[in-house]
Structure 1
Amino acid sequence: MSDGDGLTDPQFRSRFPQNLVPQWFALKDSLKASANIDFKIDYLSLGQWSNTDVGQGHAAGGMARIYGTWQAFEHGGLTAKLEHRTAYTSVAPQFFGFDSGAQSITGTAFNDIQLALTNLFWTQRAESGAWTVQVGQIDVTDFVDVYGLVSPYTAFQNLAFNTNPTINAPNQGLGIAGGVRLHQNLYAIASIADANGDPTQPNFDVFKDGETFKSFEIGYMSSQDRIYFDNIHLTVWQSDGADDGSRKDDWGVAGSASWFFDNRWMPFLRAGFSQGKAALYKKTVSAGLGLYTRETDLFGVGLNWSDPGDAFDKDQYTAEIFYRFTVSPNFAITPSVQFIANPALNPDQDGLALFGLRGRVAL
């Protein structure tokens, strides 16, 4: 194992694709310096295969994204993200777990919603950094029950190890969120967002129907600049039911503890409970470890227990192992293996194995 770590002493293997189109990256650097515009274009692809007794046995999909920020003022700026998500196969990876017989989202975010505006919000910060407010088209999973391995684009693929699967988080929509530093090591975050958010058709319907998702989180951090690395928090949330009866009122509590030791080791323990039927699970507990190397590779392993609800006879168990091979800051390949014991939607099969391969290239 190399000495050093991938946070303070990264050692990338290549400059791909910077070395192929240096003029493009020079243009981006110029825009950032002259107009405070910083953006990326990337493409991600995910393929998954399983030994299921039911369903298709394979799924694949991809997404193209353009996203960035315009720092209009010293303490205020605009963030935007436009995505196009598509399935290559009849089943999108996000729904491959269900198709294979498990009550599980095995390919988080890799769906088939096509063109979507997932972010368009203004951020305002205090000069001292004591508070931050965001308002506009927001994604609550960017700040609700977040920890250092939450991203399905760079870390785990199963929702059991992303945003807590007992939280009935809405899709991206109109909302407002704010965070405040209560003390050097204490913070609080609160949000209210459209419970019927639809990034494919952004709208202001929340002012008409009044159906919202609310969250409040209080947490402990080692310092403000490491809030996503060294973090222990408790989150409570509530989601309104739909007037048409398609969704009932739901609420729950989630807790998370993760710490980044030596900028290399990140153990985590996460749990959640929900009261209602809208969330994926009623109860869940996850534990695992992320290990970063000097080459910015990331090895991850996670174990999860979940109670999928009263309609199912058995608890479901999930394990995931992945290795993100980082070629350059803009190119990575991630093979993974998931195993699901007692797949809730196919009780005739004792266990389900899924193999995955994810790639990402950014410009």
Structure 2
Amino acid sequence: MRGNIARTLSFLVVTSVAQFGWLSSPVKAQQGGLSGPSSVEADLKPGDGVTDPQFRSDFPRNVAPGWFAWKDTLAEKGFRFNLDYFALGQYSSADTGEGEAASGIFRFYGNWQATEYGSLTFKIEDRHAYTSVAPQFLGLDGGALSITGTAFNDNGTLLTNLFWTQRAADGSWTLQFGQIDVTDFVDIYGAVSPYTAFQNLAFNTNPTINTPNPGLGLAGGARLGSNFYVVGSLADANADPSNPNLDVLSDGDLFKSLELGYTSGFDRIYLDNIHLTLWQADASKDGSRPEDYGAAFSAAWLVQNKWLPFFRAGASKGTAALYDRSVSIGLGYYGRNTDGAGIGLNWAEARGVDDSQFSAEAFYRFSISPGLQITPSIQFIGNPLLNADESSITLIGLRTRIVF
């Protein structure tokens, strides 16, 4: 399952496929991808791009100054990279299931600015569980139709990014092609990242969208005047990042998305953003998955560079996505020293279940240093759809991140 990563890297350098250039940083357009807060481009930057990054300490730079000096030298030559490690532990009040879960994610990711307007982005991950149930599935284990620890699973070694970005000199359009993760750019907003913001899928990429795993794909984006933009993508609907392959070229099963959006300016593309996303996923040729399609709407606007109210809704045919219909509202907060916080409320209905479920999450991210973050959180799930004996479930979580 973990595969030969070296062979895969060589293979995908030749066969790459997509994302887009001016959607990279919260506040300042960069040379990287069309990507949002969970992308490599965002993760390579200290802080959040909004508040003044004056941290409480300089750890771990102060314990390995030579390492970071070497990284800085490479960055000046156009090659930036990070190694980071996440750990997430969660405790559930559910009477059924394991009641607790923990897992970790090790990542090696970076970007090489090969030409003035072209760059190569990569990310390799190892996701591993410390307990019999990983946090991603702890809500399901307790009877809630809810992904409570997005990305924190036990999927092993994954190649989640290896793509080339090409952009116009004036930034008016960008193409990306290669091993892509569509959740980096489909239906994004400022608090979308499960690594720095909410853990519940209800507040990440819209849970009514049947987004595929990272795989071969192509995407592009273009400015439409000074405030509007359009983004589209084609990606492997059956992708498996633990074993990247070219099967999509023969089976033709595709995930497609088209987004039309409005922003106050392209330097604030996912902080001040209103958009409509349409998507469709082909039925699999082996009959394991029927066709799926739907639409999602998102509105988020950063007020005084501090408060991020958001409203997000979606509806789908519901054959493979988590929910048929979903509505989320909430408020994000950008604090001093690049701290961050959020509170979100979600209502959802699912296919084949004659009832609805309510979810809430609140978190506070303490940014101790550019390389150390600690995020306690609490989730509440009312009327868990898979457990009629429970009226509600509460989950307490603690997420940490260290960056070298």
Give TM-score scaled by structure 1 length: 0.97
Measured after TM superposition, the shift of residue 263 of structure 1 is 1.1
Measured after TM superposition, the shift of residue 313 of structure 1 is 2.8
Aligned equivalent of 1:138, options 180, 183, 192: 180
Distance 1:7 1:242 in 2: 42
Distance 2:49 2:309 in 1: 16
Matched, 1:25 2:68: yes
| Residue 273 of structure 1: aligned partner | 315
Measured after TM superposition, the shift of residue 281 of structure 1 is 0.1
* Matched position secondary structure for 1:72: coil
Aligned equivalent of 1:251, options 265, 273, 293: 293
Measured after TM superposition, the shift of residue 95 of structure 1 is 1.0
Measured after TM superposition, the shift of residue 179 of structure 1 is 0.4
| Residue 276 of structure 2: aligned partner | 234
Letter of the 1:355 counterpart: I
Distance 1:162 1:221 in 2: 20
Matched, 1:262 2:313: no
Measured after TM superposition, the shift of residue 276 of structure 1 is 3.3
Distance 1:332 1:126 in 2: 35
Alignment of 1:175-324 (within 5 A): 175-309=217-351, 311-324=352-365
| More moved, 66-75 vs 8-17 | 8-17
For structure 2, list consecutive stretches of 5 or more residues without a partner in the other structure. Answer: 1-47
Letter of the 2:70 counterpart: L
Aligned equivalent of 1:326, options 361, 367, 392: 367
Letter of the 1:13 counterpart: R
Q: Percent identity?
A: 62
Distance 1:69 1:299 in 2: 28
Distance 1:208 1:290 in 2: 43
Matched, 1:112 2:151: no
Measured after TM superposition, the shift of residue 32 of structure 1 is 1.1
Aligned equivalent of 1:10, options 47, 53, 56: 53
Distance 2:330 2:368 in 1: 25
| Residue 350 of structure 1: aligned partner | 391
Letter of the 2:384 counterpart: P
Distance 1:74 1:8 in 2: 29
* Pairwise CA RMSD: 1.0
Q: Note the alpha carbon deviations across 1:84-108, whole angstroms, 9 max, x for none.
A: 0000000111111110110000000
| Residue 362 of structure 1: aligned partner | 403
Q: Note the alpha carbon deviations across 1:235-292, whole angstroms, 9 max, x for none.
A: 0000001122111100000000001111111010000000131000000000000111
Alignment of 1:145-160 (within 5 A): 145-160=187-202
Measured after TM superposition, the shift of residue 221 of structure 1 is 0.5
Aligned equivalent of 2:216, options 160, 163, 174: 174
